Amino acid sequence: MTRFIFITGGVVSSLGKGIAAASLGALLQARGFTVRLRKLDPYLNVDPGTMNPYQHGEVFVTDDGAETDLDLGHYERFTGVPASRADNATTGRIYSEVIARERRGDYLGATVQVIPHITDAIKETILHETSAYDFVIVEIGGTVGDIESLPFLEAIRQLGNELGPERAMFIHLTLVPYLQSAGELKTKPTQHSVKELLNVGIQPHLLICRSERPIPEAERRKIALFCNVRPSAVIPALDVDTIYAVPLTYHAEGLDREVLAHFGLGSAPPPDLSRWQHIVETVRAPEGTVKIAIVGKYVHLLDSYKSLSEALVHGGIANRVRVEMAWLDSEIFETPDAVARLEGVHGILVPGGFGERGTAGKIAAVRFARERRVPFLGICFGMQLAVIEAARHLAGLEGASSTEFGPCPHPVVGLLTEWQREEGTIERRVGSEGMGGTMRLGAYAADLVPGSLAHRVYGGVGRIHERHRHRYEVNIAYRDILERAGLRFSGLSPDGMLPEIIEIPDHPWFIGVQFHPELKSKPFDPHPLFAHFIAASVRQARLV
Ligand code: GLN
């Protein structure tokens, strides 16, 4: 029997609903249950693929090529369960589906309305392909009280009624602020937020209360009384030093016990939390520190690189070191001598990106890493720029560039219009699909060249699968020239047409990858590229 847990948020945004949902998933897993996590986003974009990273943060890409909300990254990192296209829906997607059905005449002349047609489509989305799981955790984006989230709240209200409390539970995440002037924690915002939920017919069964300070027993009882929940179902959630401590602190406050009691599963065995204890102990007691410079364009909003910064933390866990991240705006490297800022760092990473602005600075950072023999990891755009740097400065191809920035004499990075899937099917880019539809998205295979650094990093496996999100490709026609100049193409698509990994054999550790390895890294299973990059940086730290 599949049970559904709906998580809403109140009072303010950015309370960490995604991490709360992911942590509950991890706790239920630790009790031996299977889980699946989903997110419903109230905005009108069909997916976040077209949104500015400053607005929305990172776009998390799934194996099946969906561009999704960054919370799906938290779900994967905490539970290890790969997310899919079915696990993220937006108002825009739901409406476009309903309107397409209306145009096809599927509603047989009925007046198409928010209730029941939109709410039915939301309910279908929630229930789709869930029968194999013990628990499905559904996070509703936005804050209760927003006009936009109303259809989602109505849909989960209906589902709560249809499934009954034995199969549905409502959890509400709120804020209990501390007022300095009064010297008190305030419960009123939580009471108001629960009233908002009651207005749309939802009585939460459990409250998770974010707070900077411990919530005293009297305050817990007060919240319980006014919000109509058991005192034991008021779960304090204090700020913690690492997000990977959240499952442990939630467990200590009784979250999983309360959830299981709600579903009549109170006799489930205690959870095995050793995996989380190990991670938290390692993060809290590092044996050293390495400093990694990340040279990118969106460094002012770290949510744009959420998976990347987590993957670096995981690389640190694998090596029992703390990774100090220096986020550097690539544009600062465009003035002479600015690369001096890279002096003393133990590793340099150039992440994914789009557009020409700031590329000269990134190329300067690549050159510094190559010439000064500092460990280097280039991801997606970072690999493309590493190839451009090698073409210009190692192979002497003047004006080598990417066609992303306009025509150039040596297009070492260019637009391809078709590629082959592993099974042999051909995928084509069709120009008329608009901005969102022209990228190579999702998991693709790559074959590793035996004896290469990449092959060793991946533990000697021949074929890997990694996730992509880009339009341009390194141009295979330049392989010979670039290899003669000192670059090595160490990973290629199975048909040999698409360069997936490049490296510099005559360098302590220099790798560029066309895919996004950070999307598959987990705290309990750090991605090998990050584990080895940080290991190389640890060696570098002993040198400098
Ligand atoms: N702008 C490059 C491309 O579209 C790289 C994209 C990325 O780094 N995700 O190919």
Give tens-digit pLDDT for 177-208: 999 998 899 999 999 999 999 999 999 999 99
Give catalytic status of residue 470 as yes or no: no
Task: Tell me how far the alpha carbon of residue 157 is from its chain's centroid.
Answer: 28
d(CA 429, ligand 1 centre) in Å: 15
Please write the tens of the pLDDT for every residue from 314-329: 999 999 999 999 999 8
**DSSP codes of every residue in 388-418:** HHHHHHTS--TTEEEGGGS--SEEEEEE-SE
Please write the tens of the pLDDT for every residue from 524-541: 999 999 999 999 999 999
Predicted local distance difference test score (pLDDT) of residue 58: 86
What is the pTM for the complete model shown? 0.93
Question: Domain 290-413+475-491+498-543 belongs to what topology?
Answer: Rossmann fold (3.40.50)
Predicted local distance difference test score (pLDDT) of residue 416: 73
Q: CA 67 to CA 60: how far, in whole Å?
A: 6
Ligand 1 site, CB within 6 A: 352-354, 380-381, 404, 469-472
Residue of 470, 469, 495, 471 whose CA lies nearest to 417: 471
| Tokens representing residue 19 in the block | 């991490």
Catalytic residue among 154, 380, 389, 470: 380
Ligand 1: which residue has its CA nearest to atom 5? 381
298 pLDDT higher than 80:
no
Window from 124-128, 147-151, 334-338, 410-414 with minimum mean pLDDT? 334-338
239 pLDDT higher than 80:
yes
DSSP-derived 3-state class of residue 46: coil
524: amino acid identity, one letter: F
Q: pLDDT-derived band of residue 12, with 50, 70 and 90 as boundaries?
A: confident
150 pLDDT higher than 60:
yes
Report DSSP state, residue 351.
-
CB 162 within 8 A of CB 17: no
Do 290-413+475-491+498-543 and 3-279 have the same topology in CATH? yes
Mean pLDDT score across all residues of the chain: 92
Please write the tens of the pLDDT for every residue from 96-117: 999 999 999 999 989 999 999 9
CB 318 within 8 A of CB 531: yes
284 pLDDT higher than 50:
yes
Q: CA 434 to CA 96: how far, in whole Å?
A: 16
CB 246 within 8 A of CB 20: yes
Q: pLDDT-derived band of residue 226, with 50, 70 and 90 as boundaries?
A: very high
156 pLDDT higher than 70:
yes
Instruction: Examine residue 82 and say whether the peptide bond preceding it is cis (omega within 30 degrees of 0).
Output: no
Phi–psi pair at 485, nearest 5 degrees: -85, -5
Q: CA 237 to CA 253: how far, in whole Å?
A: 8
What's the whole-number mean pLDDT along residues 319-343? 87
DSSP β-ladder status, 206-211 and 234-238: parallel
Window from 50-59, 85-94, 338-347 with minimum mean pLDDT? 50-59
Ligand 1: which residue has its CA nearest to atom 8? 352
Predicted local distance difference test score (pLDDT) of residue 268: 83
Catalytic residue among 227, 503, 518, 527: 518
d(CA 373, ligand 1 centre) in Å: 25
d(CA 380, ligand 1 centre) in Å: 6
- In the chain, where the domains are located: 3-279, 290-413+475-491+498-543
106's CB contacts (< 8 A; 6+ apart) are none
Q: pLDDT-derived band of residue 301, with 50, 70 and 90 as boundaries?
A: confident
Please write the tens of the pLDDT for every residue from 42-76: 998 888 887 776 666 789 999 999 999 999 999 99
What's the whole-number mean pLDDT along residues 476-494? 96
Phi–psi pair at 392, nearest 5 degrees: -75, -45
Give catalytic status of residue 209 as yes or no: no
What's the whole-number mean pLDDT along residues 266-286? 94
Catalytic residue among 251, 410, 468, 516: 516
What's the whole-number mean pLDDT along residues 339-365? 91
Residue 212's CB: how many other CB atoms inside 10 A? 11
417 pLDDT higher than 70:
no
Q: CA 530 to CA 129: how far, in whole Å?
A: 33
435 pLDDT higher than 50:
no
Ligand 1: which residue has its CA nearest to atom 6? 470
92 pLDDT higher than 60:
yes
What's the whole-number mean pLDDT along residues 84-98? 95
Question: Domain 3-279 belongs to what topology?
Answer: Rossmann fold (3.40.50)
Residue of 385, 415, 411, 356 whose CA lies nearest to 512: 385
Atom of ligand 1 nearest to the CA of 353: 8
Residue of 380, 416, 514 best suited for mutating to test ligand 1, as the one with most atoms within 8 Å of CB = 380
Percent of the chain with pLDDT over 70: 95
| Tokens representing residue 459 in the block | 């533990």
Predicted local distance difference test score (pLDDT) of residue 447: 98
DSSP-derived 3-state class of residue 477: helix
